[in-house]
Amino acid sequence: MITDPPVVLLPIRSSVRECAALKRQLLALVAYPGAVRIDVTDVELIDTAALQLLFAFCRERIAKDLSTIWQGDSPAFRAAATAVSLQVGDSAGPSSHSACQHDA
């Protein structure tokens, strides 16, 4: 077991402009054997491009049967995800293990 899972801290502003950097960060972790934590606490603005990137990341991890853990809560994050009908995690609590899902 890996004891100290890496954490991705999403910045205050996660928009298409920041996506290239975010993608590089996530790409390094997409095959990470242990759980990856994504912390949304700081997010004040997030757009569809960033949500799509996170969604794709989660989906790939699920396909590889790897776990992604969402931590923190951000109303902006929740609202943005709801607005485009994506569920990138329920962001309910720091250790919730919700997998990425989407209505199909």
Question: Does residue 86 interact with other proteins by CB under 8 A?
Answer: yes
Mode of pairing for the β-strands spanning 13-14 and 45-46: parallel
Q: Which residues pair with residue 9 across a beta bridge? A: 39
Which stretch in 5-13, 22-30, 37-45, 67-75 sits in contact with other proteins by CB under 8 A? Answer: 22-30
Count of residues that interact with other proteins, criterion CB under 8 A: 28
Chain positions 28 to 67 lying near other proteins, rule: CB under 8 A, are 30, 47-50, 52-53, 55-57, 59-60
Which of 12, 20, 92, 97 contacts other proteins by CB under 8 A?
Answer: 20
Helix (H) and strand (E) counts in the chain: 3, 5
Structure tokens at 69: 């853990």
